[in-house]
Structure 1
């Protein structure tokens, strides 16, 4: 069975994101190819959510640091937008103002956001913005529709360096259902959501490799530590897979 590895080199190789999996086209040595199980709607939704979160996470690792800002924009009841298109236009108008200020200071603006409407009709926008020192006061002045709540990513409820929880949170939508303490799924908390990011955030292509065998253990490269490791079994093919994040011990500033 072939084993494949893909590595994304981020932040000038200060961060490495790695995926390893078995090639589903091949069975184990001496055995026939495994039959694939038909994808259910739940499988499709889960895969789509995972891919969406992964792309957000790669952008977070490439363009942001834990010292950048996690911002929530709220609406007063009388200022709630009539629809999602209006909310998107309001957000972009604010970002246009910020972009001009950043440009005057010789800086580039990066943002990732999710516009959310709750099941009871309230609207808010979660947003990650790169900080240039006074960004908190800039966003507070630029948003006329309600309150603005600002904290650093590392001081938020998603402080991890690998940004996994933050990526999951910023990409949630009306199909997202959180697990309750008893293991059952709660009802969706959103009736509508729209995820987006600034256009100036391309992702590098991963470097592919073909391995001779499945590594039983993940060993960090010299000079790096493992910030996150997940191992599981593909529910469709039954093959093992894993992904992990390596961060340089002494990162360049």
Structure 2
């Protein structure tokens, strides 16, 4: 039985998703009765996939120092979705021209929203530029333009918080404001748009033996970080799929920079002993699999031995 490690590589991060590449369930366990996924389960799964894809897209195309921008209309201004999208399109086109004048390519990720009081506004992630230039372009493009708010983004959590905010589901108050909109306009306020020149996340696939997975699950072997990277402990997820009973491993690695507070000789010792960088290990260590997980892992290991003997 082979396992596949899908790696999503960006400048600072490597995200790992390890799972069995076959579709059948674990040997020796009874087949569960088929159950149709509930709408809530489908919604949660789609939202989780949406956040993952957005986070990885941000990691590939943006970095610290780029901008998180909010553009709104003047207080008291109310426009329909047709006028709103037309204003945003005009602003984006003018801003692209201004970037080109400075020898840059405009990159953006956008989310349109409606506020608790019905005010339409837009959130953008933009590659670095002069904030005065951007706000002047907003006022030039939109007649009833209001404030333009800017924040510098950081990658403290691998842009996960930023991705979750962009992909967030409307609250009950926001859904109340959306009741007056047609379904097509509601969809626009729940979707994400991006510029066409963004690099899209693609997985690098590597095969891993079942023996290695079994040793990690039983605690006999630790996950070894890629050379020059450290494993972020709070991203490690080890468990079993509740439908197939097959194990999975998910975690994220971050590149070790000069700002690492560990001494060079200690980093060399870490590489020799295959221990994770103390920058994160001091805070947390990979938790041992629970009693139930170990029991299941031993069962899988036994089935692997049976297959090997045959």
Say yes or no: TM over 0.5. Answer: yes
SS at match of 1:121: coil
Q: Relative to structure 2, which stretch is displaced further, 61-70 or 228-237?
A: 228-237
RMSD: 2.6
Give the gaps of 5 or more residues in structure 1. Answer: 178-186
Query: Bigger relative contact order, structure 1 or 2, given CA contacts below 8 A and separation 6+?
Result: 1
| Equivalence map 1:68-87=2 (5 Å) | 68-83=66-81, 85-87=82-84
Equivalent-residue separation in structure 2 for 1:126 and 1:240 (angstroms): 38
Provide the secondary structure at the position in 2 that maps to 1:166.
helix
Give the one of 35, 48, 60 matched to 1:62.
60
Q: Helix, strand or coil for the counterpart of 1:55?
A: helix
Instruction: Tell me if structure 2 keeps the 8 A contact 1:60–1:163.
Output: yes
CA distance in 2, matches of 1:95, 1:152: 20
Conserved? CA contact 1:8–1:205, under 8 Å: yes
- Aligned match for 2:255, one of 233, 243, 248: 248
Task: Write out aligned runs for 1:39-118 (5 A).
Answer: 39-83=37-81, 85-118=82-115
CA 1:204/1:118 → structure 2, altered by over 3 Å: closer, same or farther? closer
Instruction: Work out whether residues 25 and 246 of structure 2, in 8 Å CA contact, stay in contact via their aligned partners in 1.
Output: no
Structure with bigger helix share is 2
**2:235 maps to what in 1?**
229
C-alpha separation in 2, matches of 1:239 and 1:122: 48
Distance 1:40 1:200, change over 3 A: same
> How many Å separate the matches in 1 of 2:34 and 2:224?
31
TM-score normalised by L of structure 1: 0.80
* Uncovered stretches (5+) of structure 2, i.e. residues with no partner: 140-144, 179-185, 259-310
- Tell me, in whole angstroms, the C-alpha distance in 2 between the residues paired with 1:74 and 1:237: 48
Q: How does 1:46-195 map to 2 (within 5 A)?
A: 46-83=44-81, 85-132=82-129, 134=130, 136-144=131-139, 145-154=145-154, 160-174=156-170, 187=172, 189-190=174-175, 191=178, 192=186, 193=189, 194-195=191-192
Is residue 198 from structure 1 mapped to residue 189 from structure 2 by the alignment? no
Go from structure 1 to structure 2 and tell me whether the alpha carbon gap of 1:79 and 1:48 turns closer, same or farther (over 3 Å shift). Answer: same
**Residue deviations 1:28-80, cap 9 Å, x none?**
24446655532110111111111211111111000101221111112224433
- TM-score normalised to the size of structure 2? 0.66
- The structure-2 alpha-carbon separation of the partners of 1:41 and 1:234, relative to structure 1 and needing over 3 Å to count, comes to farther
Task: Note the C-alpha offset of 1:212.
Answer: 1.4
> Does the C-alpha gap of structure 1 residues 73 and 234 become closer, same or farther in structure 2, counting only changes over 3 Å?
farther
For the residue of structure 2 that corresponds to 1:109, the secondary structure is: coil
Q: After TM superposition, give the deviation of residue 161 of structure 1 in Å.
A: 4.4
**Which has the higher Rg, Structure 1 or Structure 2?**
2
CA distance in 2, matches of 1:36, 1:239: 17
Contact 1:5 1:20 in 2 (8 A): yes
